[in-house]
Each structure stands twice: as structure tokens, then as C-alpha cells.
Structure 1
């Protein structure tokens, strides 16, 4: 997963889970999330300190408005996903005032 497509990662997830042109190349929601997290950390040679939630790893986390891994969430609802809180190094960097 990269930045060459739409800037909305959840729209990209929707496209990757149900690719119109190549359905045989569909990814699971979990595979897309891993590509964005662990895959990106690997691409920048930081797979040993970020890209997953684990002891000793950087605590950069986005709390989402909906569970993107929930298979009952319709694919069309994925692009509406937003971050309601962002933590950087374990500290709240941003929080939606309504959260």
C-alpha cells in the first residue's frame, strides 16, 4: 500500500479488498492493515521498533471511529473512517473534542 493512490487509507482498503478489475488479487482487511503498518515500517527499515503494537515498540496509534476489521461493516462504509484520537510516543497528540 502506498501514497500513489487516494489519500484516504480506508478508501484504499475498500479498493484492495474488492478490486473491480482483478478480484483474484483481493486482500483481506487484515492484510491491508498490515501493509499500512508493519509493511510501511519494514519499507523504511524500522520493523524492529514500529509497525505493530508490542512491548518496546513506538506507541504511535490512531484510535478509529469504527472497527475496520469487522467483517460486518460494509465495504462502502470504510472510507468514512476517521481518527478520533492520535497518540505519538504514547502521548495524546490530537483528540476529537467529541470523543
Structure 2
């Protein structure tokens, strides 16, 4: 019987953090990590879409829908992407998530 606490030689040990612990200088990133990071951005857009629907802000709603759709398309593209494209998508989406979360913390002027 396999002990889930031990890692196999081909699987890295699981992180105890709640989110992805991606280090841009840390080397290879896999499909799962990329899918999760893009998914986090999609989730951000989904939350914002809900708020825009509640407020009736049609322009914001349209912008958010377009941004979310772009993310969904990139997430779909991951299935066929090679390692370099996956790394590029991860870098773009990690920066995008950081920017989106920072903009959330600051009130709009």
C-alpha cells in the first residue's frame, strides 16, 4: 500500500500552501500549475462579473466578459501547448493575477 505522505520519485512533494507556489526563476512548470493559475484569473473575472451584474454596470460587464473569455481560450490552449508556451502563459497569468488583485485593493478614482 502506498503511503500518500511520501512522494514518488517522479512526483515532487506537495506544497502545504493554499495557492500555487510558482517561482518564475524556479524552472519548469507543468500543465496542472498553468491550468490552476489561469483558473485563478478566471475565478477573479467570475467574481467581478457577479458584482458588475448586481450593480448594473453594462460597460464593465462587457469588459469583464471579454477578459474572462480570453482566459478560457488560453486555458483551452494549454492542452496542446509545449513547455515553452506553458511557461509563457504561466508568467503572463501570474503577473495578471497579481495586477488584478492589486487593483481590487485600491479604490477606483
Same fold (TM > 0.5): no
Q: Which has the larger radius of gyration?
A: 2
TM-score normalised over the length of structure 1: 0.30
Point out which structure has higher relative CO (alpha carbons under 8 A, 6+ apart). 2
Greater share of helix residues, 1 or 2?
Answer: 2
Greater share of strand residues, 1 or 2?
Answer: 1
